[in-house]
Amino acid sequence: MSRSKGSYLLDVVRGGLMGTAEVVPGVSGGTVALVTGMYDRLILSAGHTVTSMKLLATDVPKRRGTQRAAQEFRQVDLPFLLAVMVGMVAAALTAAKLVVPLVEDHPQRTFAFFFGLVLASLWVPYSESGRRWSPREWGIAAVVAAAAFVLTGLPPSEIDDPNPLLVVGIAAVAICALVLPGVSGSFVLLATGIYTVTFNALNDRDLGYIALFGLGAILGLACFVKLLQWVLEHHHRVMMVIMTGLLFGSLRALWPWQPWETDSRALQAPSGDVAVTVALMVGGWFVVVAIIVIERKTRTVHPDNPTGAPIEQPNADSTRS
């Protein structure tokens, strides 16, 4: 199927929006993919790419691997995928220049805006769960929220020189935000303490750190993309309940009134520049509300597939609890 140059330029712009979203804690690249109408194609292309790479790595000695990998790769919309990736990388590098200095120099105001973003983002996984929760589901969300609240209250594990294995592991988890709408990859970095050092490495073109992070991202995609795709298709409701609890509990890490001069994450009562801080919270909230409204008006998925997650086999037996 031939496509115009304008459509590829639009894909670059869409990728740019995703890249910008992944730099800002609270806005999910997966949500932006839903908003811009490319979630299905992106996840399908990523899934087929991962499968073809696995086949090449494991089945080549049997000779059948090359043929099967080629069959998988032919199902990848490569021009689309490349255009999106170009936009994502370019936008992430540009946004890193702007956002990281704000986090370092104006933490209270910056985190207030992020807090509003995440608070409004709670509606995304909650609404995607489909209907009112049962008491059991509220219990699951509460347990997850409590765990996230405790974990994000721990002292930051990263200062200037994080362990390479930590970088690889966190990158593997953070990259899954490209698959899960409502989950911010940059928030994972912020909550685990390597947000600033990661984007400083991007700004400084620290190739060693970037290579480690890239390795983790590749491992995360290889291990989790197909799994998370299957979970979203077959256990979508439970996943959204868990995601809602996770986001809610993790709001602790973004509370703007913290003792920024120390490594403590003790929560404090509002003080100081309260009016501007609250205004920034409200501004962040309105940004995500606008994204959600656009998503609802532009989404074109089947009623029985509300996530927008791709279903490769239309006759698959997929039920929702």
pLDDT tens figures, 225-256: 777 667 767 788 888 888 888 888 878 878 88
Pick the range with the lowest mean pLDDT from 104-108, 175-179, 180-184, 286-290. Answer: 180-184
Average pLDDT over residues 195-215: 86
CA 82 to chain centre: 19
CB 18 within 8 A of CB 177: no
Q: How many residues does the chain have?
A: 321
Q: Say how many C-beta atoms besides its own lie within 10 A of residue 311's C-beta.
A: 17
Q: How many domains does the chain divide into? A: 1
Each residue of 251-306: pLDDT tens digit?
Answer: 887 888 887 766 666 788 888 889 999 999 999 899 878 877 776 675 544 444 44
Each residue of 8-66: pLDDT tens digit?
Answer: 788 888 888 888 877 776 567 777 776 676 777 787 787 778 777 777 777 655 566 67
Q: Say how many C-beta atoms besides its own lie within 10 A of residue 193's C-beta.
A: 20
Whether residue 128 is contained in a domain is answered as yes
Average of per-residue pLDDT values in the chain: 77
Whether residue 57 is contained in a domain is answered as yes
Q: Rounded to whole angstroms, how far apart are CA atoms 196 and 186?
A: 10
Whether residue 134 is contained in a domain is answered as yes
Assigned token pair, 234: 């077959």
Q: Rounded to whole angstroms, how far apart are CA atoms 57 and 300?
A: 36
State the DSSP H helix or E strand holding residue 256, giving kind and residue range, or none if neither.
none
Assigned token pair, 169: 């592991």
Q: Which residues have a Cβ under 8 Å from the Cβ of 163 and sit 6 or more positions away? A: none
Whether residue 314 is contained in a domain is answered as no
Q: Rounded to whole angstroms, how far apart are CA atoms 321 and 313?
A: 20
Q: Rounded to whole angstroms, how far apart are CA atoms 126 and 47?
A: 25
Pick the range with the lowest mean pLDDT from 128-137, 173-182, 226-235, 293-302. Answer: 293-302
Whether residue 164 is contained in a domain is answered as yes
Average pLDDT over residues 68-74: 74
Pick the range with the lowest mean pLDDT from 38-42, 91-95, 137-141. Answer: 38-42
Confidence at residue 314, expressed as pLDDT on a 0 to 100 scale: 42
pTM: 0.65
Whether residue 169 is contained in a domain is answered as yes
Q: Rounded to whole angstroms, how far apart are CA atoms 31 and 121?
A: 9
Whether residue 178 is contained in a domain is answered as yes
Assigned token pair, 287: 């940004």
For residue 316, which of 243, 259, 233 has the smallest C-alpha distance?
A: 233
Domain containing 23 equals 9-298
Whether residue 309 is contained in a domain is answered as no
- CB hemisphere CA count around 261 (13 angstroms): 0
